[in-house]
């Protein structure tokens, strides 16, 4: 028999219509009995000994993981709150340090300015005292020179009588000497 003949024979034996979907009754009964045996085996032997404990372990593992996840989440939220509080504290502390630094800088600035003004006043007073002392020395020296010149003039006047022209020349020379001392 050829393959073609076998296909034709199989096609002739094939049921048509609804019989195509429904199995034969012998096969149906055999399937129901096999299903009942497998179901009974699973129900009475496999379920209580293997499947149910495995499902319970799996359920316990899932519940444990959920609890652990909740604990981790609450711990993370607590840490986040702590870190946020620390950051806020650090910001406040930084602002306080900056304010203290500004206050210190302002007080140092005021102290330095006051010290500089005091030193400037001291230097100014010393300079004025030096100027006054120098004026006094210059005046004393000038007075001494004037006295010496006066004595020299008086000596010349006494030594000889001077006429009007000699007197004018003497005064002129005296003024020139005074002008030389001021320079």
**Where along the chain do its domains lie?**
25-182
pLDDT at 18: 55
Residue 70, both tokens: 């909740």
pLDDT at 160 over 80: no
Which residue in 180, 116, 111 sits closest to 145, CA to CA?
Answer: 180
Residue 62, both tokens: 């899932």
pLDDT at 54 over 70: yes
Residues contacting residue 178 through CB under 8 Å, at least 6 positions apart: 145, 146, 149
pLDDT at 55: 87
Which residue in 153, 158, 151, 147 sits closest to 173, CA to CA?
Answer: 153
User: In angstroms, rounded to a whole number, what is the distance separating the alpha carbons of residues 11 and 3?
Assistant: 12
How many helices (H) and strands (E) the chain has is answered by 4, 0
Q: Identify the residue with better confidence: 155 or 40.
A: 40
pLDDT at 78: 94
pLDDT at 103 over 90: yes
Which residue in 153, 149, 155, 152 sits closest to 180, CA to CA?
Answer: 149
Residue 7, both tokens: 């296909």
Strands (E), the chain: none
Q: C-alpha angle 164/166/169, rounded to 5°? A: 110
Contact (Cβ atoms closer than 8 angstroms) between residue 174 and residue 154: no
Q: Identify the residue with better confidence: 164 or 159.
A: 164
Residue 98 pLDDT grade (very low, low, confident, very high; cuts 50, 70, 90)? very high
User: In angstroms, rounded to a whole number, what is the distance separating the alpha carbons of residues 99 and 101?
Assistant: 5
What's the Rg (C-alpha) of the chain?
65
Average pLDDT score, the chain: 82
Percent with pLDDT over 70 in the chain: 78
User: In angstroms, rounded to a whole number, what is the distance separating the alpha carbons of residues 147 and 60?
Assistant: 127
Find the distance separating the first CA and the last CA of the chain, reported in whole Å: 157
């Amino acid at each position: 028999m050829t393959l073609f003949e076998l296909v034709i024979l199989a096609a002739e034996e094939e049921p048509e219509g609804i019989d195509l979907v429904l199995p034969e009754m012998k096969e149906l009964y055999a399937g129901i009995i096999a299903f009942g045996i497998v179901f009974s085996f699973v129900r009475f032997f496999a379920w209580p000994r293997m499947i149910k404990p495995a499902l319970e372990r799996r359920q316990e593992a899932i519940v444990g993981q959920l609890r652990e996840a909740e604990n981790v989440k609450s711990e993370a939220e607590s840490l986040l709150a702590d870190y946020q509080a620390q950051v806020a504290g650090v910001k406040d502390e930084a602002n306080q340090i900056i304010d203290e630094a500004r206050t210190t800088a302002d007080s140092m600035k005021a102290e330095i300015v006051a010290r500089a003004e005091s030193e400037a006043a001291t230097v100014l007073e010393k300079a004025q005292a030096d100027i006054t002392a120098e004026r006094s020395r210059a005046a004393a020296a000038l007075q001494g020179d004037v006295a010496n010149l006066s004595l020299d003039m008086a000596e010349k006047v006494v030594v000889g009588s001077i006429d009007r022209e000699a007197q004018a020349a003497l005064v002129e020379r005296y003024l020139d000497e005074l002008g030389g001392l001021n320079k």
